[in-house]
């Protein structure tokens, strides 16, 4: 995945099975009875199934699943998962407040309004936030049914993948907020994204922090129960438990990747996952999530201690 040969085991098959059980246990007590199954999507049931094992590269620190699944399986899994329109609308509304900071940051790093392409535009929350910041961003997503929903919100959305995206235009911004961790070849994606940028254009990526996962998951077997529970909550509320990703970049592995593609890092920001609680979450659990994420936000001021990382890089 990163081109380096040596890697250490982070979690084996039994560890991952234990994480799957911990995740169900965690959400079972926090969700109201009779929660519709589709509301479990992106919370306990991810479009990506749990890995067989997770390893960490000795040279760049990249955390990735090994063995690596074939890419067409993932595309099929994602493309056939379409929740009903009311759920998509609710996801759009839930995600919108949180992605506003990403749109503001992108606008700030670019230094002006401009055009953009978002890879993995999903339900269009970022497209809406970007428009409010003076950025005209088009979407690109492989799920045609979700794209049909996003177009009903008034956005220009292309069906397909970044590697197959055939457009002679150049964009002032390219952002990959939701799907970078699911791509079969992140290196090729960064090169392709850089080629779509105007000179001085900005690429923005958001990734789960693999280094954070590797460190925090060790606390799942800590002898002190409250430490174990805190680690479980932090990982579960940031969608890191069971590692439903192909790869988890850290600051160092991501910096290498971007530099190799001729991009200059302008800004790195640590972050936490958008709120996952909704009307099916018990009120105490929603309060708990707010408290946990407020604390994590303080720690996330240092990107290395953040469950999620955003990187903004400029094409030289
Ligand atoms: Zn590596």
CA of 265 to the centre of ligand 1 (A): 19
Helices (H) and strands (E) in the chain, counts: 10, 11
CA of 248 to the centre of ligand 1 (A): 11
* Percentage of residues in the chain having pLDDT higher than 90: 77
Residue, of 183 and 226, whose pLDDT is higher: 226
Each residue's pLDDT tens digit, 154-173 = 999 999 999 999 889 999 99
Note the pLDDT of residue 278. 82
Q: In whole angstroms, what is the distance from residue 109 CA to residue 114 CA? A: 12
CA of 55 to the centre of ligand 1 (A): 11
Note the pLDDT of residue 184. 84
CA of 249 to the centre of ligand 1 (A): 10
Lowest mean per-residue pLDDT among 39-53, 149-163, 272-286: 39-53
User: Which residues lie below 8 Å from residue 72, measured CB to CB, with a gap of 6+?
Assistant: none
* Ion ligand 1: residues, Cβ under 5 Å: 2, 4, 57, 59-60, 62
Q: In whole angstroms, what is the distance from residue 86 CA to residue 165 CA? A: 29
Note the pLDDT of residue 72. 52
User: Which residues lie below 8 Å from residue 236, measured CB to CB, with a gap of 6+?
Assistant: 22, 23, 26, 27
Q: Is 127 left (phi over 0), alpha (psi -120 to 50) or beta?
A: alpha
CA of 228 to the centre of ligand 1 (A): 29
CA of 190 to the centre of ligand 1 (A): 16
Q: Say whether 36 sits in a helix, a strand or coil.
A: coil
Note the pLDDT of residue 213. 97
CA of 68 to the centre of ligand 1 (A): 15
CA of 62 to the centre of ligand 1 (A): 5
Helix extents (H) in 121-219: 125-132, 144-151, 186-195, 210-217
Q: In whole angstroms, what is the distance from residue 27 CA to residue 237 CA? A: 10
CA of 259 to the centre of ligand 1 (A): 14
CA of 189 to the centre of ligand 1 (A): 17
Encoding tokens for residue 139?
A: 């979407």
User: Which residues lie below 8 Å from residue 200, measured CB to CB, with a gap of 6+?
Assistant: 314, 315
Q: Is 35 in contact with 280 (CB distance < 8 Å)?
A: yes
CA of 1 to the centre of ligand 1 (A): 7
CA of 212 to the centre of ligand 1 (A): 16
Q: What Rg do the C-alpha atoms of the chain give, in angstroms?
A: 19
CA of 90 to the centre of ligand 1 (A): 38
Note the pLDDT of residue 78. 56
- Mean pLDDT value across the chain: 91
Q: Is 234 in contact with 307 (CB distance < 8 Å)?
A: yes
CA of 43 to the centre of ligand 1 (A): 29
Residue carrying structure tokens 């994602």: 78
CA of 27 to the centre of ligand 1 (A): 34
Note the pLDDT of residue 276. 81
Q: In whole angstroms, what is the distance from residue 158 CA to residue 142 CA? A: 8
CA of 61 to the centre of ligand 1 (A): 6
CA of 314 to the centre of ligand 1 (A): 23
Q: In whole angstroms, what is the distance from residue 7 CA to residue 184 CA? A: 18
The 10 Å Cβ neighbour count of residue 71 is: 14
CA of 7 to the centre of ligand 1 (A): 8
* Residue 50 DSSP code: P
């Amino acid at each position: 995945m990163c081109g380096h040969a040596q890697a250490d085991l982070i979690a084996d098959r039994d560890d991952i099975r234990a994480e799957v059980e911990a995740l169900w246990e965690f959400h079972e007590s926090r969700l109201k009875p009779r929660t519709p199954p589709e509301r479990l999507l992106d919370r306990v049931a991810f479009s990506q199934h749990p890995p067989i094992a997770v390893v960490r590269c000795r040279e760049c620190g990249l955390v990735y699943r090994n063995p690596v699944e074939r890419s067409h399986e993932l595309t099929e899994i994602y493309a056939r998962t379409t929740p009903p329109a009311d759920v998509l609308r609710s996801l759009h509304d839930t995600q919108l407040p949180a992605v506003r900071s990403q749109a503001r940051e992108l606008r700030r790093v670019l230094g002006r309004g401009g055009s953009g392409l978002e890879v993995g535009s999903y339900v269009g929350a970022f497209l809406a936030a970007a428009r409010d910041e003076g950025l005209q961003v088009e979407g690109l997503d492989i799920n045609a049914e979700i794209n049909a929903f996003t177009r009903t919100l008034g956005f220009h959305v292309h069906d397909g993948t970044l590697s197959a995206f055939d457009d002679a235009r150049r964009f002032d911004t390219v952002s990959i907020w939701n799907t970078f961790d699911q791509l079969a070849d992140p290196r090729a994606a960064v090169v392709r994204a850089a080629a779509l940028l105007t000179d001085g254009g900005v690429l923005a990526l958001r990734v789960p922090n693999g280094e954070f996962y590797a460190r925090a998951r060790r606390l799942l077997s800590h002898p002190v129960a409250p430490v174990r529970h805190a680690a479980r909550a932090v990982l579960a509320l940031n969608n890191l438990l069971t590692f439903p990703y192909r790869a988890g970049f850290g600051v160092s592995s991501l910096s290498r990747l971007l530099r190799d593609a001729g991009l200059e890092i302008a800004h790195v920001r640590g972050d936490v996952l958008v709120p996952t609680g909704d009307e099916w979450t018990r009120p105490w659990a929603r309060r708990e999530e707010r408290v946990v994420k407020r604390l994590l936000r303080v720690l996330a001021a240092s990107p290395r201690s953040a469950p999620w990382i955003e990187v903004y890089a400029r094409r030289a």
